[in-house]
Structure 1
């Protein structure tokens, strides 16, 4: 039987795992660390090749990793499969997983009530229908949605159908780049606001879990906004200016009727009771997130789950559990949890530190300034991201390596945490290829733009974003105490 390309990649991943485990143990690495590195390389191979679905790769990570680590030697005998399995499933018991789950559940509420459509058309109605106005409107919609929907995938799933419906209503002429422009701006602005708001993306929670485990420090919602908000705002401004220039569209190429969005909004009818309830819950959630550590001690995860609980209660609720059960991507949650587990194992076994010392450490990072190391790591992250289809998976592997790098440097814990947070921002720079993020792939699947269209905007935007990081790292982030 002839093996398919995907089957071949699975065999390659397993072979690479076996080879790394069979190699002589380096002097500075434990047997458990060697297994952790082997599992990491296997996982990266599966993720980059997309040989199997992410949920299947997660199950492979747990099954193969737990057996291999359990049978690895210690000074007292074998490590034990029960202990190894406990570590590979540890991500299922993290507050970060609960926050991501709560975010996906609230996204279901947006879908159930249709509030996302009303929000989009309200903003666009006030902005206008000229090409640059539409770009600004979609950026604002993405930013607003990021405040209330803590999942980039959920936001894209909600917004892309709205945008495609809007494009159909605009009736672009054949050959117009309007569809490409609007879809690309939508997904890129979704990615941009992933690093602007703490609760807007799963990869942020991955990084925060590792920071908490390594340094015992919790970053509040407002602190993250102070650090990441200006970066997201500046990159959004860059997108606003370069997108219409690189994919030019004239208002004569489509139905640019100022009353168009108003008609779409009126077609939705009056605001429903469920929408009003969701607005109240969303504003309460945002207020509690923003005032964490300022006027109350309740963390973001607990706040999210509490508000979600209210949404399910009789009378005051807005949906039932069946809607949540059918509308939630449970595989996404398991993949997220296993990613946290893998990263934690890389840290706890010393594998991340060893790998950092053998790679970036060999370049003499301990003698470089925090600014130079920040830029160097940012470039490395962008290059690695070209092969990843998930920022969450990238964060699971890359952030532990970053922690290993900063541990080599003679810097304070505050500066070290700052470098890690900035790299958590860069993990969301999936601007270049359709396969870089789920939102890119969802939009690309509509057929509204080509990979070249995305590259034409995404590559310059990435370079501008890296330049902005350099400027902020040398000024603003030092002023606010991040670096």
Structure 2
């Protein structure tokens, strides 16, 4: 067996056991320390992939559930009359699968299946290539612009990028003989997929209404600090950072993750001919287009009457009822079910960190470390910590709920802290932090599961683009906010 073959299974075990054997730090109970060891081992397993990523998450949840009396529940909880640790462990283990974002991601995969089965995805891809397909970089900018146009009106980046952009982008690579889970993925597919996920992370920060947790964050800011953040103040606050990052993202992806196909004018001419051969829209294509418009309308205008996840599941049901896809298509879509298990287990594990007190403990350490710092360095340090702690979360919503009130409380204790600017800085980082991991934001598992972005590439590029996003945000965004607010 090669060194790589030994490292993949051994490294997660070494990390998990090594942490567990260390003395638990002051302020953190023993069971929480054990849970943190399991979580760290799972993250290491997601990086080294000794088994497929969904299986890593599944094993992590099963292990924590089996050892719940020692890793999930405190002695005080176990001593409560009537407390049933076995039932509570099962409830916890399955909690991630009741998360709306998990099922919205699943629905996005089924939407993609509809585009594939009806041929509408191929038609739209051919149309895009016939206009812009001569240069790969032009296609990258087209993907970014499409996301940016939808972003102000779609308060779910999973619905926007995963349910609308991804199904179209997925149909572009085959036109260039670029296939998933194949060396040919690097011809163009890998570049387009990375550009799509990186772009949606930026647009999710640019508009208050482009990411559902943004709205939650505004409400938590109001409750915690009595400060109200408006749509306009949000947009203006991120505008220079957003403009720089949006313009740079397709180009940076082109340079840092270069496609093998960079110019292909003959494909552009071929796409025009293929469009003519396709003829008029079929009945199934028209039905799919109508259902996609319905989904967009519900996501944009119907949020008061229907949750975005329920809207997506409604459209999936209609896809089956109208014969646009079959139920067999749904049950045999392995990427959809793989991603459902993967993200569901990660949501469960990330929720466990908050449940056992790890998140609260880290926040306490941060508050002590910032004591005595001048205001501006303290603001930068808080944003940096808030950003990097996202590695512990498989949901931006969970991140906001667990950490934003704590960070605001820590900030308020620093003399002279401009709280409105500080609150805005924390909130504006929510979209751009999603790029750092394959589970960092709703659409991430969709692109990670596309077959065009190997997990190692996602981690590497996520680190690079996360660093770029953060540096631009601090170097440009912080002075800008101090100037305009």
| TM-score of the superposed pair, with normalisation by structure 1 | 0.70
Structure-to-structure mapping, 1:129-278, within 5 angstroms? 129-130=134-135, 133-140=138-145, 150=159, 159=169, 162-166=172-176, 182-183=188-189, 185-195=191-201, 234-240=244-250, 254-256=264-266, 259-278=269-288
User: Which of 326, 351, 362 in structure 1 is aligned with 2:358?
Assistant: 351
Q: Deviations over 1:71-98 (max 9, x none)?
A: 4651364672332332232111222222
Look up the SS of the partner of 1:75 in the other structure: helix
Look up the SS of the partner of 1:195 in the other structure: helix
Q: How many Å separate the matches in 2 of 1:419 and 1:105?
A: 34
| TM-score of the superposed pair, with normalisation by structure 2 | 0.70
- Supply the RMSD in Å over aligned alpha carbons: 5.1
Q: How many Å separate the matches in 2 of 1:57 and 1:285?
A: 33
Look up the SS of the partner of 1:238 in the other structure: helix
Q: Deviations over 1:371-412 (max 9, x none)?
A: 514652477479x79xxxxx9599989996777655533287
Query: What's the counterpart of residue 75 of structure 2?
Result: 74
Query: How far apart are 1:362 and its partner, in Å?
Result: 5.2
User: In 2, are the aligned partners of 1:135 and 1:182 still within 8 Å (CA)?
Assistant: no
Query: Structure 1 residues 23, 475: closer, same or farther in 2, change over 3 A?
Result: same
Gaps of 5+ in 1: 169-177, 199-203, 386-390, 446-450
Q: How many Å separate the matches in 2 of 1:64 and 1:214?
A: 34
Gaps of 5+ in 2: 179-183, 205-209, 224-230, 414-418, 439-443
Query: What's the counterpart of residue 58 of structure 1?
Result: 57
Query: Structure 1 residues 267, 239: closer, same or farther in 2, change over 3 A?
Result: farther
User: In 1, are the aligned partners of 2:295 and 2:311 still within 8 Å (CA)?
Assistant: yes
User: In 2, are the aligned partners of 1:381 and 1:398 still within 8 Å (CA)?
Assistant: no
Q: How many Å separate the matches in 2 of 1:60 and 1:256?
A: 48
User: In 2, are the aligned partners of 1:356 and 1:402 still within 8 Å (CA)?
Assistant: no
Q: How many Å separate the matches in 1 of 2:357 and 2:420?
A: 18
Q: Deviations over 1:139-189 (max 9, x none)?
A: 456768997974868866863563242368xxxxxxxxx996844541232
Query: Structure 1 residues 353, 208: closer, same or farther in 2, change over 3 A?
Result: farther
Look up the SS of the partner of 1:193 in the other structure: helix
Q: How many Å separate the matches in 1 of 2:427 and 2:409?
A: 11
Identify, as 1 or 2, the structure richer in helix.
2
Structure-to-structure mapping, 1:8-407, within 5 angstroms? 9-71=8-70, 74-75=75-76, 77=78, 80-127=85-132, 129-130=134-135, 133-140=138-145, 150=159, 159=169, 162-166=172-176, 182-183=188-189, 185-195=191-201, 234-240=244-250, 254-256=264-266, 259-292=269-302, 296-313=304-321, 316-328=322-334, 329-358=336-365, 360-361=366-367, 363-364=369-370, 367=373, 368-369=375-376, 371-373=379-381, 375-377=383-385, 380=388, 392=394, 405-406=407-408
Structure-to-structure mapping, 1:412-423, within 5 angstroms? 419=426, 422-423=429-430
Q: How many Å separate the matches in 2 of 1:396 and 1:8?
A: 32
Query: How far apart are 1:278 and its partner, in Å?
Result: 1.3
